[in-house]
């Protein structure tokens, strides 16, 4: 019975993630049909609204980073089953984002507004590309392991969990963190950048840059070969060599 409950818990956590993921697209894109988006008429004075937004972003950043650290996992799995650890992380991440969506306070004011139809569509294309790249990157490194489904499925079948081997498929040959590149497109590509959206984008971008340092230290500990990979592949911006330069390199 315990194995089935853990499996159902993992499924429920994943469903919660997927619903939150879809809502995040609508939230950042100011899509119609959802109760609250990133922009809108201010409901509070700018001071309290700014304080609430910063607190919500901090809660998400602390939860997202703290629960991902190996030391925290070692303590956490003394309380919850090891097979449910990743699903619990996914669940708490979804709850932190839901909290942000529900209590987010628009500040009002615009940083830029694109009047050009071409410019608007380019921004929409960049926004869509970011979300596609983000989701695509998770499948490159095993989407089901990343979101805890592989763990609960293995324990349901009575099999021991095995760590995934280090690999660099697809976009991971161009940059070390294509998932975060997708996030950058998603948070910055908008034809109308409000002050509120700019706050979200700046704080999120700063968090991503800081989180990469912690994440890469853990990756080097888990996969020593990551150290060489880090020297060979850029972090976020790909290096495109010219065809002539590549031919010359191959000829050496």
CA 175, 73, 151, 213: dihedral to nearest 10 degrees? 0
- For residue range 207-220, list pLDDT tens digits in order: 999 999 999 999 99
What are the sequence ranges of the domains in the chain?
Answer: 2-241
pLDDT attached to residue 199? 96
**Mean pLDDT (the chain, rounded):** 91
Residue 97: is it exposed, middle or buried by C-beta count within 10 angstroms (0-12/13-18/19+)?
buried
pTM over 0.85: yes
**Which pLDDT value is given to residue 246?**
41
pLDDT of the residue at 69: 87
Segments of the chain scoring below 70 in pLDDT: 240-252
CA distance 16 to 8: 12
pLDDT of residue 22: 96
């Amino acid at each position: 019975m315990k194995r089935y409950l853990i499996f159902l818990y993992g499924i429920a956590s994943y469903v919660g993630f997927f619903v939150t993921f879809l809502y995040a697209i609508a939230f950042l894109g100011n899509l119609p049909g959802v109760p609250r988006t990133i922009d809108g008429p201010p409901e509070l004075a700018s001071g309290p609204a700014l304080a609430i937004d910063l607190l919500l972003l901090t809660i998400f950043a602390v939860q997202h980073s703290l629960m991902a650290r190996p030391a925290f996992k070692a303590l956490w799995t003394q309380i919850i089953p090891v097979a449910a650890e990743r699903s619990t992380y996914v669940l708490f991440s979804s709850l932190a984002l839901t909290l942000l969506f529900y209590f987010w306070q628009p500040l009002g004011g615009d940083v830029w507004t694109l009047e050009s139809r071409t410019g608007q569509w380019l921004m929409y294309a960049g926004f869509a590309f970011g979300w596609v790249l983000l989701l695509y990157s998770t499948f490159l490194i095993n989407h089901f392991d990343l979101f805890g489904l592989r763990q609960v499925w293995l324990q349901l079948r009575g099999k021991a969990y095995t760590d995934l081997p280090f690999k660099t498929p697809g976009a991971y040959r161009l940059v070390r963190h294509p998932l975060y590149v997708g996030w950058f497109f998603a948070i910055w590509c908008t034809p109308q950048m409000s002050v509120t959206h700019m706050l979200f984008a700046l704080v999120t971008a700063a968090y991503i840059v800081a989180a990469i340092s912690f994440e890469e230290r853990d990756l080097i500990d888990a996969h020593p070969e990551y150290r060489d990979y880090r020297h060979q592949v850029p972090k976020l911006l790909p290096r495109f060599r010219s065809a002539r330069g590549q031919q010359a390199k191959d000829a050496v």
